[in-house]
Amino acid sequence: MPILSVVVPCYNEERTLVACIDKVLAIKDEKLTLEIIIVDDCSSDNSLVLAKELERKYPEVRVVAHISNTGKGAALRTGFKNATGQFIAIQDADLEYDPIDLKRLIRPLVKDRADVVIGSRFLSYGEHRVLYFWHYLGNAFLTLLSNIFTDLNLTDIESCYKVFRKDIIDRIEIEENRFGFEPEIIAKIAHIGVRIYEIGISYHGRTYADGKKISARDGFRAIYCIFHYNASKALLPLQFIIYLAIEGIASLVNITLFFLLLHAGIAHILSAGCAFLFDAIVNYVLCILFLFRHKARWNSTLEILWYSMVVLVSVGIVASITKILAVTGAPAWLSTATATVVGLVVNFAGRRYLVFPERRERFTCN
């Protein structure tokens, strides 16, 4: 009989926790064994007390308590580590999602057709409470942006309902502590090449008055996560486009700082040097945040040394091309444009293959 471990992250859900666990227990039958792991994320209400009562009442329930509030992603990380079933599902304690849908979500896993199954609120199935238009629009945008990077055709990356084979989730390092978990896990399962299915689910959304916790801050974090966990494995043309945006921002910082220093009475050469150095630092930081993986293969010292070398070589190449074209009588605009394009390509290639090299990892299904 398959064992389904249901991880329930819980923070201040005393109003719905007991009903949620009762509904999860109701899906147990002669063909499915349950293990329910409630991870209380340092609730300030009676959630932990209720969870402990449920643990004493039901042998299927185990409770793990955080000593400080660290977020949904951190709670899931704890739950995954404590799960022992062949399959692992996520169930929010707020009852926006109906546990009866888990029985359908687990079928492709039991039949060995899928390694991960995602429940979509936007595929036609079951009851759906009508709520916030702007939330829907934001979700659609995040899903589209994620799909561009992962080359998946998902409809709902922010869905709570995700069911995994245990050996899949065990080999993925969860880094996000809050709601950034959703785009992070989609990125990581996409890039190891597992079999992903999507199934429509019902949805009983709640309002902020009912206790909904996600905010605009989490939306911006999701955008960051989509870039951060996907870009280093994206197609080269897409990586180059992102790099052009980073270079544009760094160049704008360079020009702004240069004129500010000149206005402050700093010598021209010193102003240019300081602005160039700050440009390189900004470029490096943005590459780490949005494009490449920090310390992908090197330690920090070697990474910085490689980066410095690429910057110096690029400057030398740009200067040489400009000088050569000027000597041959080429117009100034052509010399500058040609040198700039070559410099951008050299900078990108140097960062991609020397500073932040990364091996692609593929997963072979059993």
For position 75, what pLDDT does the model report?
96
Q: How many CB atoms neighbour CB 41 within 10 A?
A: 24
Q: Buried (b) or exposed (e) across 265-277, using 16+ Cβ within 10 A?
A: ebeeeebbebbee
> Reduced to 3 states, what is the DSSP secondary structure of residue 61?
strand
In angstroms, rounded to a whole number, what is the distance separating the alpha carbons of residues 263 and 314? 29
Domain 3-232 fold: Spore Coat Polysaccharide Biosynthesis Protein SpsA; Chain A (3.90.550)
What pLDDT does 213 receive? 65
Distance in Å from the first CA to the final CA of the chain = 19
- Look up the pTM and report it: 0.86
Per-10-residue mean pLDDT of the chain, 366 residues long, equals 94 94 94 96 96 97 96 95 96 92 95 96 76 82 95 94 95 91 96 94 76 76 95 92 96 93 90 92 95 91 95 91 86 86 94 86 51
Could you state, in order of their start, the residue ranges of all structural domains in the chain?
Answer: 3-232, 235-355
pLDDT at 136: 84
What is the structure's pLDDT at 211? 61
